[in-house]
Amino acid sequence: MSLPEASPFPLVGLKAVTNAQHEWVALAFDIVADPGGALNALQAVFSYPDMQAALAPLDCIVTAPDLAVTDPAQLRSLPSSMVMFRVPLSACTAGSQKKCKQLAEQGYRLLVEGEGGIHAGQAGIRSMAFDCSENVPSELAMLTMPGPHLALNVDTQARRDAAKAAGMAWFCGDYARHPDPDAAQGDGTSRKRLLALLGLLARDADSRELEILLKQDPALSYHLLKVVNSAAFALSTPIHSFGQAINVLGRRQLQRWLQLLLYARQQDDGGANPLLPLAAVRAAQMEALVKLRGGDRDQQDMAFVTGVFSLLDVLLGMPMTEIVAALSLDLDVVMALLDRAGPYGELLKVVEQDRPDSSALRDLELDHETWWRSLLQAYHWAIQVSRNL
């Protein structure tokens, strides 16, 4: 395969924004464009076929082009019902307030980067985006705008808790991947049962064996039946037994849903598990990239497994070496999970990044548009998974 030619399509990264219940409410865009080409890059991304439908109903948070040189009328091609603009503190100054107001009048919601105070309100800005990696904003700063306010760089559970206590409603960061080490990861019996189920799935066990183990886990059983009876399958007759569920889904789909359902357990605070959609994105994008590169169905399945299992060490609070030792996985999958090596490991290293650089994609013979297509497919599927679970 020859190296891809330079792509005119911008390099795009996405990062999920969650609410207090760990549910996805928006996606933060990281779009790399040539100097002076931010507007063209935005228009290329938002005019991409089926883009808006794929990411609905989530809001899309993008950095506004330089308001000093951009006419708000130029942004009308972007859907105001979907797009939220991040603007710098300088947008609150007298010179830029008028343009911010025009955007607000067009229906766009604006977030100011930092404590804009009363000047932000005068510019039609209703929300704040604040770097909470070390500090949280003052209570007074949030009182001047109705919100929702976005906490950025929330990379630990402690920082998320601090931002939430300060009054922030939306959160963006890696806190899901770095849970509180003192938090309970589930009792030993639960972990052993999960590993046993994973082992059965890995060796394509008999449906009866799966059914026996599922009955021992009420939460997993509930979620499986909920999935099968969801609108995604549009069944005329409700499914009430595991045997029926297995028959309806088919073994390949059953394996995929169960692999994801392992992440579906409710958190102690009553919210969803923030690892679930992240695992879904990784799995779906790994599969999409392998398919786009010409991989067969077995290779796509192994790519999916690699992505969905890549967060099991975080979920179970166990070393990946112990998890892999309990499962019967293909050697390429094992290499990817343990060392990020081999064909799937190289892909996983890129998929784990919120936005890889162009050289990393070139090394894998991927262009920017192929990357965006796989990302769009993955986030669309993860959004649907989260809604059905």
Q: Tokens standing for 349?
A: 């290293």
Q: Which of 148, 177, 206 is the last residue of a domain?
A: 177
Residues 375 and 314 reside in one and the same domain: yes
pLDDT band at 232 (very low <50, low <70, confident <90, very high): low
Residues 157 and 247 reside in one and the same domain: no
Q: How many structural domains does the chain have?
A: 2
pLDDT for 83-98, tens place per residue?
999 999 888 887 788 8
pLDDT for 346-368, tens place per residue?
999 999 998 999 999 999 999 99
Burial 133-154 (b: 16+ CB within 10 A, else e): eeebbeeebbebbeebbbbbbb
Q: Which of 146, 177, 208 is the last residue of a domain?
A: 177
Rounded average pLDDT over 11-31: 96
| pLDDT at 126 > cutoff 80 | yes
pLDDT for 147-206, tens place per residue?
999 999 999 999 999 999 999 999 999 999 988 765 545 555 666 777 787 788 777 777
Cis preceding linkage at 65, omega within 30: no
Structural domain contains residue 6: no
Q: How many degrees, rounded to 5, is the angle at CA 205 between CA 203 and CA 211?
A: 140
Question: What residues make up the domain containing 226?
Answer: 184-267+273-389
Residues 161 and 202 reside in one and the same domain: no
Task: Determine contact, residues 257/284, Cβ cutoff 8 Å.
Answer: no
pLDDT at position 184, please? 44
